Amino acid sequence: MTQLDEFGRTPLHYAARDANLPEVERLVDTEDVNLADHQGWTPLHFAANAGAPDVVARLLAAGADIDALTEKGMPAIYWAAVAKRGNPVETIRVLRAHGADPTRETIETYFGLKSPLHFIAETRNKPEIRAEFADLINE
């Protein structure tokens, strides 16, 4: 059994967060790829937020749940869209190619549930990020 730290995370969570593909490769077959930490983050959420398409692809190949949600209802595609490092555009492409649904209303807000697409359309996100959802945004 893998030991959890005080945040409920395993070494796989940290390898995904750090976009460390060799370490993810080493751990992916011995740790639960869908184990959520105390805030509901799985290794896939961390990899998406790191803008790490290769790590995202490897986790998905190992059975990571593309529809897993954080405690606030945020799926991996949301975290890829707001990623500030790595290659978020390619990460979004990998997630969408594997069936991530940016229109699913799962994110808890004061005004009810919203989808990742709502946030992308409502905010002045980077043009290259918005372009990845152009087929879904009516401007």
What 3-state class would DSSP assign to 112?
strand
pLDDT at 41: 98
CA distances from 104 to 47, 84, 97 (A): 20, 23, 16
Phi-psi region of 14 (alpha: psi -120 to 50; beta: other; left: phi over 0): alpha
Considering only the top CATH level, what class is 11-131?
mainly alpha
pLDDT at 1: 57
CA 100 – CA 67 distance, rounded (Å): 7
Helix (H) or strand (E) holding 113: strand 112-114
Paired tokens of 92: 């979004």
CA 130 – CA 81 distance, rounded (Å): 9
Global confidence as pTM? 0.92
Chunked in runs of 10, what are the mean pLDDT values of the chain (139 residues)? 88 98 97 98 99 99 98 96 94 97 91 88 76 75
CA distances from 71 to 14, 20, 37, 38, 76 (A): 19, 25, 10, 8, 12
Domain boundary assignment for the chain: 11-131
pLDDT at 138: 63
